[in-house]
Amino acid sequence: MVKQDNEVTWQDIEIGGIVTNPGNADYYRTGDWRSNKPVYEFSRCIKCGLCAIFCPEACITRNEEGYFEGDQYWCKGCGICAKECPVYAIKMVEEVE
């Protein structure tokens, strides 16, 4: 069974903190760093994909209808997608939870 974060002891740490299952940054929820979130207006979207190319988190993928959308588990709310969108289809609004 995998230990929860608050159960890991110093003895559990691998030599020099080496991570033997690389790629586990996937599990790290960076979405809760966000203070602004992107809101998509798909009626304006021309499916150019510039937002996905510029996204530093690489969390933007195409949805079933071919529109580009960021995964909010990882989106840090940096706003680069909104800045780069040539048709102003993305707006950053304040996260209010």
Partner 1 sequence: MAERAGIETSVAIGDAVKAADADVIAAYPITPQTHIVEHLAELVANGELDAEYIPVESEHSAMSACLGSAAAGARTFTASAGQGIELMHEVLYVASAMRLPIVMAVTNRAVSSPLSVWGDHSDVMSCRDVGWIQVFVENGQEAVDHTICAFRIAEDNNVLLPVMVNLDGFHLSHVIEPITVPDREEVEKYLPPNSYPLPLNPDKPVAMGDFAPPFIFTEAKWAQEMNIRKSYDHIIKAWQEFGEQFGRHYHPVEHYRTEGATTLLLTMGSFSETAMTAIDSMREKGEKVGLIRLRLWRPFPFEELRKALKGVDTLVVLDRAISVGGPGGPVASEVKAALYNQKDRPSVVSFVGGLGGRDVTREGFETIINRGREIAEKGSENEFEIHGVRE
Report the DSSP beta bridge partners of residue 14: none
Select from 96, 61, 57, 97 the least CA-distant residue to 77. 57
According to DSSP, residue 3 is labeled: P
2 binds partner 1 per the rule CB under 8 A: no
According to DSSP, residue 70 is labeled: E
Whichever of 28 and 88 has its CB closer to partner 1, that residue is 28
User: What is the distance between the terminal CA atoms of the chain, rounded to a whole angstrom?
Assistant: 32
Shortest separation between residue 23's beta carbon and partner 1, angstroms: 8
6 binds partner 1 per the rule CB under 8 A: yes
24-53 residues in contact with partner 1 (CB under 8 A) are 24
Shortest separation between residue 92's beta carbon and partner 1, angstroms: 26
Binding site for partner 1 (CB under 8 A): 5-6, 8-20, 22, 24
